[in-house]
Amino acid sequence: MAAGLLAAIILAMVIGKFPLTPGQLADAWLGWAWGNEALDPRIETVIWNVRFPRVIAGLLIGAALAAAGATFQALFRNPLVAPDILGVSTGASLGAVLGIFLSLPVILIQLTSFVGGILAVLAVYSIGLAIRHRDPVLTLVLAGVAISAIAGAGISLIKILADPYDQLPAITYWLLGSLTAVTRGDALSILPAMLLGLVPLFVLRWQVNLMSLGDEEAKALGVNTRLLRTILIAAATLVTAASVSIAGVIGWIGLVIPHIARLLVGPDFRRLLPASMLLGAMFLLVVDIAARTIASVEVPLGILTAAIGAPFFLWLLASGRRGWQ
Amino acid sequence: MAVAFALDTVSVGYRDAPIVSDVTLDIAEGVTCLLGPNGAGKTTLFKSMLGLLPYASGKMRLLDRPLSEWRRKDLAQTMGYVPQAHAALFPFSVLEVVLMGRTPHLASYRSPSGADEDIARQSLDRLGLLGLADRAYTELSGGERQLVLIARALAQKPRILIMDEPTASLDYGNQMRVLDQVRALADDGMTVLLSTHHPDHALRIGDAVALIFNGRLHAHGTPRDVLTADMMRMVYGVDVVIGALPGAASSSIAPRSKEHPNGA
């Protein structure tokens, strides 16, 4: 799996509108490592300012979305759950779409998107706390559906109000996800949120298994389910909101990748989490290579992940090779 | 015998409509069997005792400390719970399921160690399940699942074991083996509280019987004192005879023949 990821990284660095040879890539990397003089400045620019941030962002986002999906599937005891079950993607979309509509600078659009995603999940979580004497997990899911619907209505409203020649295409493109515009600064700016989210998931990886037994059984085995659920939701929401804020909505990774990982390594979260992250990173890199090579214009990632992910998912269903009962 | 768990005028269920009311019961060491018709509230009572459900009123003390003062983790180190066998969503291996029983003994940020795995294997071995260790829990029969859940509770190494109808989904052979295990655990010093629909099981392994009927604790005492023909007729509406078959280790209960209304 690690070898596959390395191969995907190298491919993602050399393939593109300005093709490089693996030799040039190796020269640039070695040159950087040894502190040598730069070679061709055009090659340096492509490698360090165009491809490198894109690959780093792709790795981070692919791994993060898959990790969030695997976490939510265990937490909500449902293999059909994706990271946006609690409305994080829709909330982040509303934030970004509002930013585009107000013609804010890119950095502020990223910020409104991140805040929108967090606010949506906070709203869902507060509703979950306010409604007592119901199954807490079911309450959260239903509140997520409601908040997503409200945010979705907001997005539709802004689309109608937006300038159809300038803003509307930008909004549509953003809603389908892309790594085209990612800069080195973007990749760095999401790093703290990514670490803040992924480290707790990794540390609590054993306890996540117990959450998939359901609230009562986890409690009977000594787990503080309310605290753990809060931490897991916060962690998965952070990494998803960070991903969406710089790359838009990239669907299907968080839903499909954990399934494949579960088929490969089983449901134990101690192995499922790293396997999902590796596969997610690899998958997004490969899809991104396809996105910038199959047509003269870049294809939005959301279109490709759905076009590849959905048929694969149907095949999983039909073949009975499922990691759940 | 020492009291492991004391209930003092406890009512469980909803506050305005309790399912079982005013239960005052000292659960002593050994095996206590909880009997009662379907829907009597046995599971609700168990979940309240485990701190999984709030209860309406009364006082509960575990090892002479009020239940409300127990931290969740300490509670799980002291009381093991074997729920009724259920379907699981994800295909965890049997060993992984049993390892989950070690969780109350781990810090929240820790994963089970090799020593925990040894304990899990010992628990499986004790129930003769070591051969299933690598099988997927989801592929097991209902009876095997029930046994695995018992192994998980053993890995928890609790002082008190609460079992919700542990024999319900087992075939006759496995029922007897589970009962023997329960008896052996109690003889090793574990306090066991189990619910069952078989009065025979209480006669076989019970040190005490508690009978819930009509929303009350109807009777409590030794199996021989509580499980009388009159009681069976009243609670279950069945005329029975009670006695030991030649060579049997314990008494059994059988429906009375209609042709011999006065026995024999």
Judge whether A28 lies within some domain: no
Q: For chain B, how many structural domains are there in total?
A: 1
- Split at pLDDT 50, 70, 90, the class of A212 is very high
Condensed to tens digits (0 to 9), the pLDDT of residues B24-57 reads: 999 999 999 999 988 889 999 999 999 999 888 9
Nearest to B89 among A206, A212, A222 (CB): A212
* Residue B214 covered by a domain: no
**Distance from chain centroid for Cα A84:** 10
Question: Does residue A20 form part of some domain?
Answer: no
- On whether residue B34 sits in a domain, the answer given is no
Q: Which two tokens stand for residue B33?
A: 């069997």
Distance CA A258, CA A288 (A): 19
What's the whole-number mean pLDDT along residues B77-98? 91
Q: Is residue A305 part of a domain?
A: yes
Whether A102 and chain B come into contact, CB under 8 Å, resolves to: no
User: How far is B243 from B224, CA to CA, in rounded Å?
Assistant: 10
Residue of A nearest to B72 (CA): A222
* Average pLDDT of span B72-96: 91
Distance separating alpha carbons of residues A67 and A69, to the nearest angstrom: 5
pLDDT-derived band at A186 (thresholds 50, 70, 90) equals confident
Check residues A129 and B208 and name the one with the higher pLDDT. Answer: B208
Which residues in chain A have their CB less than 8 angstroms from residue B81's CB?
217, 220
- Looking at the domain assignment, is residue B18 inside a domain? no
Nearest Cα of chain B lies from the Cα of A109 at a distance, in angstroms, of 36
Contact list in B for residue A77 (CB cut-off 8 A) is 89
Greater confidence, A216 or A9? A216
Confidence of residue A15 (pLDDT cuts 50, 70, 90): confident
pLDDT digits (tens, 9 = 90+) for A293-325: 888 888 899 899 988 888 887 887 787 665 555
Domain carrying residue A150: 55-319
Q: What confidence score (pLDDT) does residue B259 get?
A: 73
Nearest 5°: phi and psi at B109? -90, 0
Do A201 and A67 form a contact (C-beta atoms < 8 A)?
yes
| pLDDT at residue B227, rounded to an integer | 93
Which residues in chain B are contacts of A206 at CB distance < 8 A? Answer: 103, 106, 110-112
CA-nearest residue to A80 within chain B is B89
Tokens read off for B210: 């508690």
Tell me the backbone φ, ψ of residue B189, rounded to 5 degrees.
110, 0
Chain B, nearest residue to A215 by Cα: B52
Q: Is residue B245 part of a domain?
A: no
Site from B75, B78, B79, B100 to mutate, A interface, most A CB atoms within 10 angstroms: B100
- Per-residue confidence (pLDDT) for residue B86, from 0 to 100: 77
B65-66 and B57-62 strand pairing: antiparallel
Q: Is residue A4 part of a domain?
A: no
- What would the mean pLDDT of B153-179 be, rounded to a whole number? 92
How confident is residue A148, by pLDDT bands cut at 50, 70 and 90? very high
In this prediction, residue B264 carries a pLDDT of 46
pLDDT at B261: 59
Q: Is residue A64 part of a domain?
A: yes
Q: Is residue A232 part of a domain?
A: yes
Question: Does A31 or A269 have the greater pLDDT score?
Answer: A269
Inter-residue long-range contacts of B234-241, CB under 8 Å, 24+ positions, other chains counted: B235/B35, B235/B36, B235/B37, B235/B211, B236/B37
- pLDDT at A105 exceeding the cut of 70: yes
Q: Which of B89, B106, B156 sits opposite A325 (nearest CB)?
A: B89
A:B CB pairs within 8 Å: 81
- The pLDDT value recorded for residue A36 is 66
Query: Which A positions 201-260 lie with beta carbon below 8 A of chain B?
Result: 203-207, 209-210, 212-213, 216-217, 219-224, 228
Q: Are B68 and B108 in contact (CB under 8 A)?
A: no
Rounded to a whole number of angstroms, the distance from the CA of B49 to the nearest CA of chain A is: 11
The whole-angstrom distance between A89's CA and the closest CA on chain B is 26
How many domains does chain A contain in total? 1
Q: Do B89 and A216 touch (CB under 8 A)?
A: no
- Distance set, CA A300 to CA A7, A176, A195, A247, B11 (Å): 23, 6, 26, 10, 60
**In whole angstroms, what is the distance from residue A91 CA to residue B53 CA?**
35
Q: Which residues of B fall within a CB distance of 8 Å from A74? A: 90
Question: What is the pLDDT at residue A77?
Answer: 87
The CATH number for A258's domain is 1.10.3470.10
Whether A277 is in a domain gets the answer yes
Query: What would the pLDDT profile of A270-296 be if each residue is shown by its tens digit?
Result: 999 999 999 999 999 999 999 988 888
Q: How far is B150 from chain A (nearest CA, A)?
A: 13
Whether residue B10 lies inside any domain: the answer is no
- Which of the pair, B264 or B102, is modelled with greater confidence? B102
The reply to whether A141 falls in a domain is: yes
> Mutate which of A134, A135, A205, A206 to disrupt the B interface (most B C-beta within 10 Å)?
A206
Whether residue B193 lies inside any domain: the answer is no
Question: In terms of residue numbers, what domain contains B141?
Answer: 85-158
> Nearest C-alpha of chain A: how many angstroms from B73?
4
* Partner-chain residue, chosen from B52, B92, B111, that has the shortest CB–CB distance to A206: B111
What do you get for the CA distance between the two ends of chain A, in Å? 26
The verdict on a CB contact (< 8 Å) between B156 and A78 is no
Q: How confident is the model at residue A223 (pLDDT cuts 50, 70, 90)?
A: very high
In a domain, residue B12? The reply is: no
Q: Is the pLDDT of residue B168 over 90?
A: no
The answer to whether A248 and A178 have CB atoms below 8 angstroms apart is yes
Question: CA end-to-end span of chain B, whole Å?
Answer: 38
**B62 interaction partners in chain A (CB closer than 8 Å):** none
Retrieve residue B107's tokens: 């810090």
Chain A residues whose beta carbon lies within 8 Å of the beta carbon of residue B93: 266, 268
Residue B80 lies in a domain: no
B111 neighbourhood in chain A, CB within 8 Å = 205-206, 270
